[in-house]
Chains A and B, each alone.
Chain A
Amino acid sequence: MLHLATEAAAHPTVSEGVLWAILAAPFVGWALIVLYVRKLPLVAGWLAAAAVGVACVLSYVVLFNVIAKGGIAVHTHEWFRAGDLVVNFGVRIDGLTAVMLCVVTSVAFLVQVYSNGYMKGDPGIGRYFAHMCLFTTSMIGLVLADNLFMIFIFWELVGLCSYLLIGFWFHKPSAAAAAKKAFIVTRIGDLGLLAALLLIYTRNDGNFDVSAIQAWALNSGTPGYLVTLFALGIFAGAVGKSAQFPLQVWLPDAMEGPTPVSALIHAATMVAAGVYLMARFFPVLEASPDARHVVAWIGAATALIGATIALVQTDFKRVMAYSTVSQLGLMMLGLGALGYVAAIFHLLTHAFFKSLLFLSSGNVNHATNTFDMRLMGGLRKQMPITLVTCVIGSLSLAGVVPLAGFWSKDEILLDAWRDNRGLWVVASLVSAMTAFYMFRAIFLVFFGEYKGGQPVDHHDEDSHFHGDPAHPHEAPLVMWLPLVILAVPAIGAGIFALNHGFRNLIVDALPLEIADQIKSESSFKWGVAIASSAFAAGGILLAWAIYYKQWFSSRSIRMGFAPLTNLFENKWFFDRLYEDFFVKLVLQRGWNRLLELNDKYVVDGVVNGSARVASMASDRLRFIQSGQIQGYGLGIAAGVVAVVIAVYAANPL
């Protein structure tokens, strides 16, 4: 079955089998690992890499086909039908899908290769690769899905895999708690998505298809408030998954998972799924100005909160985590400012340079047995490759010309400038802070004196650290090669923007009227570009002055801004608010105590009262209760037999 969503005759000609094969390859990898090679770490690891590698190669085949042909193709099949409810299972291929497929599978492949080094010697390695394959499958499913119902299903499955992988080292209480927190917090957002799904079912004749929902939103006959409600529903889902304010609290804790997991799931793919979801339903934002303002300002708040907390973190990986929160906020801000192309472009470049940064933090951890930057320093001598790649990633993230991050961030800033100067101010502040915290981290980790790392605890039987933190060393080939490969797009991905190539590719995924409008806008403005470069340079220089030259002591600056530092170090008090107020006070002390009392005194009071009456009555009937269970059983059985005989006697066969 095939139908064309656009009027254009052109559409991707890649066969449906290839698309399903992309989904199936990592799934087969998962099944093989679970069934046969759980106990063989080397086989499981390379099997996982190979399975994802196949999906990756096929994704590029699809991408080139889409670049050559343009347009949209949908292949869909009926899955089940219950009354009016018809749910399809299908794939949709267009520029947006193709780009996302390549991002997901490329990063996933490199991370799987890297994991073969990083996870070496871990007793649960089979389980690790199985979960990673299942995650990749779910993520691919999410991207390929042609209807909201399927999106929801895979959306939940990526959440499950994220839960399992954050809690991978489940014997650590912090990991178990982080996994729980991540699942519950994202689940709260997911319920918004579920509500949006139900809204579509009841208000759009049960048609969940992406194109149908886009058309529904753009149809002038659709009541505006419904479109806004729908947009806010899916945005609630995106807020959960993409760690936006006020549900941002789970992502930093999710760093309890293994570092490659953080690189793949909590930097490059799953957390970006929220941005993808909003982009997929971009016409909804076009149709509802209220919703898009909410998206833009939530994004701005998230970007600011994330960046400010990243300024004061002492944990290398958490700097990156808060940076991710902040950059995702920036993407949302871009989408809210109608920067469809800018947001997706930033998603693409961010996926590469942020996974690169996470993997380099993994290398540092591999050498020093810690993520605490106060125990590091001076690693530039021992870890030159990691240093160079990490600096490239940071420059790209900071938005320095001509690296990839500069081009994508610049487009977001431009869209913010066009839409609302307030958004632009926030975004610019955030970029300055980004440059500062990244180079603060680099100076603390790679320059100065080495502070010895974290000594190995030999009593901890679950630890698999094999090196000697006192003598750090460069990571092995499987661990530095993926970094070098990721550094290439982190430097050069800006080239895709040349001649509006990237824009034209992904804009084809939208309905024609919106696509034409986006194509008519310019995407570069000298003033914005120069301003953003100045902010980035300022941030880097400040970090250099404080942490390398030490012209000012960081301690005195902290003292100077004591109230702010306090606010940032306590993560704006969100965790305290949620845990102490909502969970402990409202839920445990208040609500549940009330329920218990109600059950105990009100409802049971009645029951126990009648029980007393009954027991008085039964005192008189005690002679029946012989206490012989056999007697009771016999009595019941005899009764049954009597009934059967009576029925039979009344009406013989």
Chain B
Amino acid sequence: MSYDEAQGYVVLSTLAQPLLAALIILFIPATRKMAIRYVSLFFATLMLGLSVYIFTAYQIGGDSIQMEISWAWVENTAFLGPRGISLHLGIDGIAALMVLLTGIVAFAATLVSWKLDYRPKDFFILFWVLVAGVYGTFFALDLFFWFFFYELAVVPLYLLIGVWGSTRKEYGAMKLTLMLVGGSVLIWIGIFAIFNAAGLHTFDLQQLWAAGADGTIDRNTQKIFFPFFVIGCGVLAALWPFHTWSPDGHMAAPTAVSMVHAGVLMKLGAFGIIRLGIQLLPEGAEFWMPGLMVLGTIGAVYGAAAALTQRDFKLISGYSSVSHMGYVLMGLATMNSIGITGAVLQMFSHGVMTALVFLMIGALYDQAHTRDLRDFGGIAKVMPWWVVCYTIAGLANVGLPGLSGFTAEFHIFVGTFETYPLFGGLAIFAAALAAGYMLRMFSVVFFGPFNPRWKDRLHDITPLEGVAASALIASMVVMGVWWAPFTDRVSHTVTQLVGVTG
């Protein structure tokens, strides 16, 4: 087996780990809760290691797709030609960063779920299936499997929120599922339309990308079906006006699910816009991107403005996510390399930052059983480390230099200013609002007079939560101070995309 082939098996085994974890937990009796937790932690650590390996082993300046592995599944039958549907996995620079994100967030979420006591067996089975779906989507280079993994990631969400959630969980879960399924239907239609239009009798993404770039998929088809993919994936990426599931869904979801959902799942949507929009339909992208810029900007400003007056921690973070995902969409819509690089960096940055925020909210809610800002005050006195961690997340959110948020937003602003100066100005306005909603929360919750209601009732974060938070904070600081490993990998891929300027 050659070195390159062996790398492919690393990718395959990374995808297999969460499935293996789910399978093993399936055979552990539900009463053996500690065993379930240790198995989960073991696999989470393993996946973190594999993800870091994949990220670091990615060769900057190497092939556009690396660590490839391909197993044909169905070929030369009926309407399918050679390599009709194959389990074709591999990574590019964008996927490499997303895989790292998944590893870190899944690891942190596992640690946080340690204290989950209600049916942990079912929880972890669903959780690992979801994680497998996420990894699969980032790895898949076959349109059929891409969609399969995408759905695999989305479906367990309904149960995870509906069963383990809190505030209005049935409503939140149902709303989220309906909207996401609606999006999936659009993607599904789009996939078959493009499969037909390309006429290659294959679902292989690399062949389809080539067909999109050289005009085999004709211009009009591209223009017609681009919105199917962008809206379909956009629902998951909280594209305005399809974002309304996001605040309710986040409010209802349990801590670990919020972390994975906001941290990683929402990025699947943006990732889908890159894979199925920009890469598959470059001419459609060129035509529609100004529209996406408008929607992204509205989302960025709208989310930030809506977060300003919320009273529930999770609603603030939910709307803040809408705003930050708006930045991601703006970055993608610039269609220049620096803007798209920024969008991908923002996907990572928002992922770790928002996971940390939800971790902290969960740590407080588990003790206080309320998330209303006005119930608190002076928390810094009793939960100093909690406040420090939350503050760091908040400052990354605001885009303070030295943390990952600035790295990403700076790229997006530069990219936007190059093509759409007016929208760049609006994006900066949204950044001012971000300072408003974050600091308002700080001053109400962390500072001010201590609310005596919580005397002796609140305790600082546990060591496990501390470990999880440290992993997330470390990623934010590294990306904020040492940009090169991140920007190099992402821009290596982005500059090769068809239709992307400078």
Which residues does A use to contact B, with CB under 8 Å?
79-85, 152-153, 156-157, 160, 163, 167, 170-173, 175-177, 179-180, 183-184, 187-188, 191, 194-195, 198-199, 201-202, 587-588, 591-592, 595-596, 599, 603-604, 607-608, 610-611, 614, 629-630, 632-634, 636-637, 640-641, 643-644, 646-647, 650-651
CB neighbours (8 Å) of A201 from chain B are: 414, 417
CA distance A641 to B132 in the complex (A): 12
Contact B447 A170 (CB under 8 A): yes
The 8 closest A-B pairs by CB, nearest first: A176-B447, A82-B487, A170-B447, A153-B401, A180-B443, A176-B443, A592-B309, A651-B71
Which residues of B are found within 8 Å of A647, using beta-carbon distances?
71, 73, 87
CA distance A176 to B440 in the complex (A): 10
Answer yes or no: B458 CB below 8 A from chain A CBs: no
Closest-CB distance, B327 to chain A (whole angstroms): 14
Q: Which residue of B lies closest to A588 (CB)?
A: B309
Q: Is the CB of A637 within 8 A of B23?
A: yes
- Give me the interface of B with A, judged by CB distance under 8 Å: 19, 22-23, 26, 71-74, 87, 119, 122, 125-126, 129, 132, 148, 152, 155-156, 159, 163, 174-175, 178-179, 182, 241, 244-245, 302, 305-306, 308-309, 337-338, 341, 378, 380-381, 395, 398, 400-402, 406, 411, 413-414, 417-418, 424-425, 428-429, 431-432, 435-436, 439-440, 442-443, 446-450, 482-484, 487-488, 491, 495, 502
Q: What separation, in Å, do the CA atoms of A497 and B483 have in the docked complex?
A: 45
B440 adjacent to A191 (CB under 8 Å):
no
A188 vs B398: C-alpha distance when bound (angstroms): 12
Contact across chains for B159 and A629 when beta carbons are under 8 A apart: yes
Docked complex Cα distance between A651 and B502 (Å):
42
Q: List 9 A-B contacts (CB under 8 A).
A: A83-B338, A83-B491, A184-B436, A588-B309, A632-B159, A633-B125, A633-B126, A647-B71, A651-B72
**Whole-angstrom CA separation of A640 from B125 in the bound complex:** 12
Q: Indicate if the CB atoms of A646 and B23 lie closer than 8 Å.
A: no
Q: A592-B306, A647-B71 are in contact. Are A83 and B502 (CB under 8 A)?
A: yes
In the bound complex, do residue A636 and residue B443 qualify as a contact, i.e. CB atoms below 8 Å apart? Answer: no
Closest Cβ of chain B: how far from A598's Cβ, in Å? 9
Q: How far is the CB of A593 from chain B (nearest CB, A)?
A: 9
Distance of A198 Cα from B413 Cα, bound (Å): 7
Are B443 and A179 within 8 A (Cβ)?
yes
Question: CB distance A82 to B156 under 8 Å?
Answer: no
* Contact B19–A640 (Cβ < 8 Å): yes
Query: Most chain-A CB neighbours within 10 Å: which of B119, B178, B245?
Result: B178
Are the C-beta atoms of A591 and B305 separated by less than 8 Å? yes
Given the complex of chains A and B, what is the CA–CA distance between A194 and B399 in angstroms? 11
A194-B428, A647-B71 given; A604·B244 CB < 8 A: yes
Assess the B417–A637 pair: CB atoms within 8 A: no
CA distance A607 to B428 in the complex (A): 31
Measured CA separation A646–B435 after assembly (Å): 52
Q: A82-B338, A647-B73 are in contact. Are A595 and B431 (CB under 8 A)?
A: no
CB distance from A135 to the nearest CB of B (A): 14
Q: Are B244 and A637 in contact (CB under 8 A)?
A: no
Q: Looking at the complex, which one of A171, A175, A595, A643 makes contact with B305 (CB distance below 8 Å)?
A: A595
CB pair A85 B447 closer than 8 Å: no
Find chain B residues with CB under 8 A from A198 CB.
Answer: 413-414, 417, 424
Question: Are A629's CB and B122's CB within 8 A?
Answer: yes
Q: Which of B175, B309, B495 contacts A587 (CB 8 A)?
A: B309
Check A179 against B447 for contact (C-beta < 8 Å). yes
A287 CB to nearest B CB, Å: 21
* Cβ-closest chain B residue relative to A631: B122
Q: Which chain B residue lies CB-closest to A649?
A: B73
Contacts A611-B178, A640-B19; A175 near B424 (Cβ below 8 A): no
**A592-B308, A637-B129 given; 5 more Cβ-contact pairs under 8 Å:** A83-B341, A198-B417, A587-B305, A608-B175, A651-B71
Q: Which residues of A lie under 8 Å from residue B174 when comparing CB positions?
A: 611
For the complex, give the distance between the alpha carbons of A603 and B179 in Å: 11
Chain A hits for B484, CB < 8 A? 80-82
A636 touches B447 (CB 8 A): no
> With A and B bound together, what is the CA distance between A171 and B174 in angstroms?
42
Cβ–Cβ contact A85 & B73, under 8 A: no
A82-B411, A595-B302 known; A646+B432 contact, CB < 8 A: no
Q: Bound complex: CA of A230 vs CA of B115, how far in Å?
A: 54
Q: Are B19 and A644 in contact (CB under 8 A)?
A: yes
Cα distance, A199 to B428, chains bound together (Å): 13
**Which of B129, B428, B449, B495 is in CB contact (< 8 Å) with A195?**
B428
Output the residue of B122, B156, B443, B491 with the most chain A CB within 10 A: B443
User: Which of A80, A591, A650 lies in contact with B73, CB distance below 8 A?
Assistant: A650
Count chain A CB atoms within 10 A of each CB in B413, B417, B447 and give the residue with the most. Answer: B447
B178 touching A637, Cβ below 8 Å = no
Q: B217: shortest Cβ distance to chain A, in Å?
A: 27
Closest to A173 in B: B448
> B391 — nearest CB in chain A belongs to which residue?
A164
With both beta carbons as reference points, the residue of chain A lying nearest to B242 in the complex is identified as A603
Residues of A within 8 A of B449 (CB): 171-173
Tell me which residues across on chain B come within 8 A of A650, comparing CB atoms: 71-74
Measured between beta carbons, the chain A residues less than 8 angstroms from B23 are 637, 641
Residues of B within 8 A of A640 (CB): 19, 22, 129, 132, 152
Check B119–A629 contact: CB distance below 8 A.
yes
Tell me the bound Cα distance from A180 to B444 in angstroms. 10
Q: How far is the CA of A156 from the CA of B406 in the complex (A)?
A: 11
A171-B450 contact given A157-B401, A611-B174, A647-B73, CB 8 Å threshold:
yes
